[in-house]
């Protein structure tokens, strides 16, 4: 009889009051290695957890931090835009300076030919000849590029534009004045391509 009772207790289903009930709450199944789904009641319990609300002071600090961040980002954006504008202006200015420098070098190389044509024209050697038209086209092309002649008889002497080849005292002048132009000078915009070689009248002592 005792053996029968013992056998009957072994046949009772698991989880009866006579035996402990073990629940495996591990998230990872030790046999398959897969993640187990969270029981519905546990998920509901998580949703029911109370959410802690921020105090007015904490909310004010959070709002101020957000405002400061937006202001800093805006300042960085404006600074980047200004730097981009300055960079473009420098590039354009350098491009223009390089262009003027190249043009000035080309003109400087052609000035001796222009001087020869000018001297021949002054002696009447170009009149009616094909070289007269060449001289006109050469001067017209230089003028379109912005080339200007400097050094005129009677104007005040300017050491930034003129080179005094000879000086002689003159009683009727009060300032250094160009008495004669030996070789004209030229400027290209603000750039001096060649200084004018001149004779200068200086006040007599």
Give 176-205 pLDDT, tens digit per residue.
999 999 999 999 888 899 999 999 999 987
Full 3-state SS string of the chain: CHHHHHHHHHHCCCCCCCCCCCCCCCCECCCCCCECCCCHHHHHHHHCCCCCCCCHHHHHHHHHHHHHHHHHHHHHHHHHHHHHHHHHHHHHHHHHHHHHHHHHHHHHHHHHHHHHHHHHHHCCCCCCCHHHHHHHHHHHHHHHCCEEEECCCCCECCCCCEEEEEEEEECCCCCCEEEEEEECEEEECCEEEECEEEEEEEECC
- Report pLDDT for 88: 93
What range defines the domain where residue 176 resides? 147-205
pLDDT tier, 162 (very low <50, low <70, confident <90, very high otherwise): very high
- Report pLDDT for 22: 66
Is residue 51 included in any domain, yes or no? no
Q: Among 56, 58, 39, 55, which residue's Cα sits nearest to residue 47?
A: 39
Q: Are residues 167 and 121 in the same domain?
A: no
Is residue 86 included in any domain, yes or no? yes
Q: Among 128, 135, 203, 137, which residue's Cα sits nearest to residue 170?
A: 203
Lowest mean pLDDT among 21-25, 64-68, 190-194: 21-25
- CATH number at 188 reads 2.30.22.10
Q: Are residues 140 and 167 in the same domain?
A: no
- Report pLDDT for 7: 46
- Report pLDDT for 27: 67
> What is the overall mean pLDDT for the chain?
82
Lowest mean pLDDT among 3-7, 24-28, 76-80, 88-92: 3-7
Query: Which of residues 24 and 147 earns the better pLDDT score?
Result: 147
- In this model, does residue 100 exceed pLDDT 60? yes
């789904």: which residue's tokens? 37
Query: Which of residues 142 and 5 earns the better pLDDT score?
Result: 142
The rounded distance, in Å, linking the Cα atoms of 81 and 172 is: 61
Domain endpoint, select from 115, 145, 175: 145
């Amino acid at each position: 009889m005792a053996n029968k009772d013992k056998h009957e207790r072994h046949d009772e289903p698991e989880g009866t009051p006579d035996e402990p009930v073990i629940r495996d709450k591990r998230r990872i199944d030790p046999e398959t290695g897969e993640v187990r789904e969270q029981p519905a009641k546990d998920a509901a319990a998580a949703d029911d957890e109370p959410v802690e609300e921020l105090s007015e002071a904490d909310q004010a600090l959070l709002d101020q931090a957000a405002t400061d961040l937006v202001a800093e980002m805006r300042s960085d954006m404006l600074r980047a835009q200004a730097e981009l504008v300055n960079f473009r202006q420098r590039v354009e200015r350098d491009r223009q300076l390089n262009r003027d420098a190249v043009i000035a070098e080309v003109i400087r190389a052609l000035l001796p030919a222009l001087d020869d044509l000018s001297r021949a024209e002054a002696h009447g050697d170009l009149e009616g000849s094909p070289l007269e038209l060449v001289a006109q086209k050469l001067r017209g092309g230089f003028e379109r590029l912005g080339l200007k002649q400097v050094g005129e008889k009677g104007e005040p002497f300017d050491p930034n534009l003129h080179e005094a080849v000879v000086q002689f005292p003159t009683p009727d002048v009060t300032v250094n004045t160009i008495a004669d132009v030996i070789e004209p000078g030229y400027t290209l915009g603000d750039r001096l391509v060649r200084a004018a070689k001149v004779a200068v009248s200086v006040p007599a002592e």
